[in-house]
């Protein structure tokens, strides 16, 4: 790893004379070619007050070469602004932030019934019930890894499977969370998140599925 980090410093020589990784870098060997690997760093501090984030460098050990896959200046605006509020029917959900703690990512939400008092279901991994035929909330990270939610909460109620028939008074913003475990140590964001909610229809108490999608959520 020392040689790899040294190579990374050389790779960023065009940015500045002195560089250092602000956190622990990670290295992954390519699944398709063991002679290649990718070094990833969340933040790389450069000489002076400059830093870059989401740094990925691919090394080709067979040919003793490397190439910078991607990076961007820290605090630079993302090319695609994240969707923060999604509304379907009378249910509005705001995704405030996603926090990564030891590879467990918790996304913090505000959910609101906008038209009338009603009950709502919120599913982590509930098989084929409570939130429609597909009752699993999922997320995909910026490396393409797919995760199924491991826990959901609304107010003080928490469950590893689902919360059902939670009463939400109209126009009352309520805190909720959703958790994803064992997220890749290389991941720095979710490229997409699908939250699965459900409501009972007035007729025959059937489930009306409510999938809500969010994109480009950077971890805090």
**How many whole angstroms separate alpha carbon 141 and alpha carbon 67?**
22
Q: Is the pLDDT of residue 8 over 80?
A: no
Query: What pLDDT was estimated at residue 54?
Result: 61
pTM of the predicted structure, to 2 decimals: 0.62
Residue 136 pLDDT class (50, 70, 90 cuts): confident
**Same domain? 207 vs 111:** yes
Q: Which residue has the higher pLDDT, 207 or 77?
A: 207
The DSSP line for the chain is -HHHHHHHHHHGGGT-S-EEESS--EEEE-SS-TTEEEEEEEEEEESTT-EEEEEEEEEETTTTEEEEEEEEETTPPPSSPPP-EEEETTEEEEEEEEEEETTEEEEEEEEEESSS-EEEEEESB-TTSSSSS--B-EEEETT--EEE--EEEETTEEESSEEEEEEE-BT--EEEEEEE-S--TT--EEEEEEEEEEEE-TTTT-EEEEEEEEEEEEB-
Lowest mean pLDDT among 70-74, 144-148, 163-167, 214-218: 70-74
Longest dimension (CA), the chain: 70
Domain end point (choices 47, 73, 99): 73
> Residues 45-54: pLDDT tens digits?
655 555 666 6
Report yes or no: 101 and 108 within 8 Å, Cβ to Cβ. no
**Same domain? 36 vs 127:** no
**Same domain? 109 vs 40:** no
**Same domain? 127 vs 196:** yes
Mean pLDDT of the chain: 77
190 in a structural domain: yes
Q: Is the pLDDT of residue 130 over 90?
A: no
Place of tokens 């070619």: 33
Query: What pLDDT was estimated at residue 55?
Result: 67
60 in a structural domain: yes
Domain end point (choices 30, 53, 73): 73
Query: What pLDDT was estimated at residue 129?
Result: 72
Residue 34 pLDDT class (50, 70, 90 cuts): confident
**Same domain? 48 vs 97:** no
**Same domain? 107 vs 140:** yes
Query: What pLDDT was estimated at residue 17?
Result: 41
Q: Which among 13, 7, 12 has a CA at the least distance from the CA of 60?
A: 7
**Same domain? 102 vs 65:** no
Query: What pLDDT was estimated at residue 202?
Result: 63
Phi-psi region of 89 (alpha: psi -120 to 50; beta: other; left: phi over 0): left
79 in a structural domain: no
**How many whole angstroms separate alpha carbon 147 and alpha carbon 125?**
11
How many independent structural domains does the chain possess?
Answer: 2
> Residues 166-205: pLDDT tens digits?
999 999 999 999 999 999 998 999 999 999 998 877 665 6
**How many whole angstroms separate alpha carbon 105 and alpha carbon 98?**
6
The DSSP line for 25-63 is -EEEE-SS-TTEEEEEEEEEEESTT-EEEEEEEEEETTT
117 in a structural domain: yes
Q: Which two tokens stand for residue 115?
A: 């038209």
187 in a structural domain: yes
Query: What pLDDT was estimated at residue 131?
Result: 77
Average confidence (pLDDT) over 5-21: 47
**Sequence-separated (6 or more) residues with CB below 8 Å from residue 102:** none
**Same domain? 61 vs 97:** no
Domain end point (choices 73, 98, 124): 73
> Residues 68-122: pLDDT tens digits?
655 555 555 444 444 588 888 788 999 999 999 999 999 999 999 988 888 999 9
**Same domain? 148 vs 177:** yes
78 in a structural domain: no
Lowest mean pLDDT among 13-17, 29-33, 69-73, 215-219: 13-17
**Same domain? 25 vs 90:** no
- Structural domain of 178: 85-218
49 in a structural domain: yes
């Amino acid at each position: 790893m020392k040689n790899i980090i040294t190579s990374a410093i050389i790779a960023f020589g065009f940015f500045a004379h002195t560089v250092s990784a602000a956190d622990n870098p990670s290295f992954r060997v390519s699944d398709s070619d063991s002679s290649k690997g990718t070094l990833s760093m969340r933040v790389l501090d450069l000489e002076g007050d400059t830093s870059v984030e989401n740094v990925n460098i691919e090394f080709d050990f067979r040919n003793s070469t490397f190439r910078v896959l991607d990076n961007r200046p820290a605090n630079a605006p993302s090319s695609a602004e994240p969707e923060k509020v999604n509304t379907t029917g009378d249910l509005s959900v705001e995704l405030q932030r996603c926090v990564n703690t030891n590879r467990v990512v918790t996304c913090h939400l505000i959910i609101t019934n906008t038209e009338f008092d009603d009950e709502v279901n919120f599913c982590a991994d509930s098989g084929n019930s409570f939130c429609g035929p597909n009752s699993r909330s999922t997320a995909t990270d910026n490396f393409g890894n797919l995760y199924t939610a491991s826990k959901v909460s609304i107010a003080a109620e928490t469950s590893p499977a689902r919360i059902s028939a939670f009463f939400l008074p109209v126009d009352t913003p309520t805190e909720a969370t959703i958790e994803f475990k064992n997220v890749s140590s290389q991941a720095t964001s979710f490229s997409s998140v699908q939250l699965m909610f459900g409501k009972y229809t007035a007729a025959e108490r059937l489930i009306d599925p409510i999938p809500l999608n969010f994109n480009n959520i950077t971890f805090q």
